[in-house]
Amino acid sequence: MSEELEGKHGVQSLEIGMTILRAMVDGQRSMMLKDIAAAADMPASKAHRYLVSLIRAGLVEQDPMSSRYDLGSFALNLGLVALDRLDRVRLGLNAIAEMRDEINQTTALAVWGDRGPVIVRWERPRRPITVNVITGTVLDLLSSATGRVFAAWMPKKLVSPMINEELKNARLPPELKSKAAVEAMLADVRAKGFAATNGQHKVPGVEAVAAPVFNFKNEITMSVLVVGVQGMFDISPEGEVVSSVKRHAEALSLRLGASGEPKVPA
Question: Are 52 and 174 within one domain?
Answer: no
Half-sphere exposure of 193 (CA within 13 A, CB side): 16
Q: How far is CA 8 from CA 1, 12, 19, in A?
A: 11, 11, 19
Question: Are 105 and 213 within one domain?
Answer: yes
Residue 260 lies in a domain: no
What's the pLDDT at 36? 93
Residue 6 reports pLDDT greater than 50: no
* pLDDT, mean over the chain: 86
Question: Are 118 and 7 within one domain?
Answer: no
Q: What is the pLDDT of residues 51-69, one digit of tens each?
A: 999 999 989 999 999 999 9
Whole domain around residue 47: which residue ranges?
3-71
Question: Are 187 and 118 within one domain?
Answer: yes
Question: Are 148 and 57 within one domain?
Answer: no
Sheet strand arrangement including 206-214: 116-123, 106-113, 220-229, 206-214, 195-198
Pairing label, strands 116-123, 69-71 = unpaired
Residue 231 lies in a domain: yes
Residue 210: strand, helix, or coil: strand
Question: Are 22 and 123 within one domain?
Answer: no
Question: Are 60 and 103 within one domain?
Answer: no
Question: Are 53 and 169 within one domain?
Answer: no
Residues 6+ apart with CB under 8 A from 45: none
Instruction: Please tell me the least confidently modeled range out of 2-6, 29-33, 61-65, 147-151.
Output: 2-6
Length of the chain (residues): 266
Residue 232: strand, helix, or coil: coil
**Which of residues 44, 71, 98 is at a domain's end?**
71
Question: Are 66 and 138 within one domain?
Answer: no
Residue 220 reports pLDDT greater than 90: yes
Q: How far apart are CA 108 and CA 224, in angstroms?
A: 6
Residue 100 lies in a domain: yes
What average pLDDT score do residues 194-203 get? 73
CATH number of the domain to which 239 belongs? 3.30.450.40
Question: Are 64 and 139 within one domain?
Answer: no
Residue 5 reports pLDDT greater than 50: no
Task: Answer whether 122's CB lies under 8 Å from 107's CB.
Answer: yes
Residues 6+ apart with CB under 8 A from 22: 40
Residue 161 reports pLDDT greater than 70: yes
Q: What is the pLDDT of residues 244-253, one digit of tens each?
A: 999 999 999 9
Taking 3-state DSSP, the helix, strand and coil percentages for the chain, each rounded to the nearest 5, stand at 50, 20, 35
Tell me the pLDDT band of 12, cut-offs 50, 70 and 90.
confident
Task: Answer whether 36's CB lies under 8 Å from 51's CB.
Answer: yes
The total domain count for the chain is 2
Global pTM value: 0.67
Tell me the pLDDT band of 216, cut-offs 50, 70 and 90.
confident
Question: Are 87 and 66 within one domain?
Answer: no
Residue 143 reports pLDDT greater than 80: yes
